[in-house]
Amino acid sequence: MRSVKLKIYGKVQGVYFRVHTQENARQLSLNGYVKNCPDGTVEALAEGDDKNVEAFIEWCRKGPIEASVLRVDIHESTVKNYSGFAILRD
């Protein structure tokens, strides 16, 4: 089991990034969350099988067609055993 926190930079808000991220995470059987940040980035935390987490990271580097990802910062995180993959809203 692996857990990573991602910070995604670029044109990633207002382009359905969170919805597509949630769909991708669910297809990969990952748990965690995705949320918009006040600085215009998107934060995602994903937990699951290492292979699926790697596939999720690769997807986040591209994002949905409407997005333009400039950079993804990746930090290993402590597994917290989330249930499901949620879109967090302020």
Catalytic residues, by residue number, are: 18, 36
Whole-angstrom CA distances from 13 to 21, 25, 75, 76, 78 are 12, 18, 21, 24, 26
**Residue 56, burial from CB neighbour count under 10 angstroms (0-12, 13-18, 19+):** buried
**DSSP-assigned beta bridge partners for residue 86:** 33
Backbone angles phi, psi at 55, to 5 degrees: -65, -40
